[in-house]
Structure 1
Amino acid sequence: MSLTRRSLVEYAAAHFGWRRAYGDTTEIDSLLNEQALTAYTEAADHAALATAKNTDALAVQPGVLDVRGRVLADVLYLEGVLTGARNRGLDPQLIERLDAAVDHGHELTVLLADTVRTTAAVHAAS
């Protein structure tokens, strides 16, 4: 399926709250590569914009706070997926990977919260 057609199908499915599952690791690898390519392409602009915009610690704070909120929401979603996988007795390897992702996500939210606190502390000290 072409990228354009797949994108349209996925857009329509997402509009109705559906998500497509993939049973082929080759297709998964292709999708993961597309995600990475998109993210890194967009990240190239972020560095220049952040350099111009983030002139002091308080300027950094809103962006980091926004990221923490999105990460926390996604981690809590994954925690629900993990609970469902456990309750359904799904493969232990899948449960182990989900558990590790949830733990890592919670650690990331703590680090981001500490970073937000640091922006305020640095500002107060100056």
Structure 2
Amino acid sequence: MSLARRTLMEAAAARFGQRRAYGDTTAVDALLTEQTETAYAEATGHAALATAENSDALAVQPGVLAVRGRVLADVLYLEGVLAGARTRRLAPELIARLEDAVGLGHDLAVLLADTVRATAAAPAASTS
């Protein structure tokens, strides 16, 4: 089943509070590979669009700001997942991986915020 079809089916199931979980690493690895392949296949179009639209620092700002918003929302969701994992005393390795992901996510959100600030500062610096 294609990733797009699976994603649509999973999104529909999630609307009813259901999510699919994979019980073996082979299935997880296949899903991760498919996600990666799909993302890279779509990246060419994204890169072309971003290159065409981002003619100056202020043109970069909306896209970076949107990415930061999505990253921050996802990191805050992961914090909830981490809190639940700790509360339920799930595997220490899982908790450690979630802690790493949350930490890196917050770092990425900070870096993206700094990037957005740089887009606002760049026009001011070029006029000085």
Q: TM-score with structure 2 length normalisation?
A: 0.90
Count the aligned residue pairs: 124
Partner AA of 1:53 in structure 2: E
**Corresponding position of 1:47:** 47
Give the secondary-structure state (helix, strand or coil) at the position aligned to 1:120: helix
Partner AA of 1:66 in structure 2: A
Partner AA of 1:29 in structure 2: D
Partner AA of 1:26 in structure 2: T
Q: d(CA) in 2 for partners of 1:119 and 1:9?
A: 39
**Corresponding position of 2:73:** 73
Question: What is the 5 A alignment of 1:1-126?
Answer: 2-3=1-2, 7=6, 9-126=9-126
Q: d(CA) in 2 for partners of 1:88 and 1:51?
A: 46
Give the secondary-structure state (helix, strand or coil) at the position aligned to 1:23: coil
Give RMSD over aligned pairs.
Answer: 1.5
Give the secondary-structure state (helix, strand or coil) at the position aligned to 2:90: coil
Q: d(CA) in 2 for partners of 1:3 and 1:114?
A: 37
Q: TM-score with structure 1 length normalisation?
A: 0.92
Q: d(CA) in 2 for partners of 1:3 and 1:45?
A: 20
Partner AA of 1:46 in structure 2: H
5+ long unaligned stretches in structure 2: none
Q: d(CA) in 2 for partners of 1:107 and 1:60?
A: 20
Deviation, 1:17, is 3.2
Q: d(CA) in 2 for partners of 1:107 and 1:40?
A: 23
Deviation, 1:53, is 0.6
Q: d(CA) in 2 for partners of 1:58 and 1:86?
A: 42
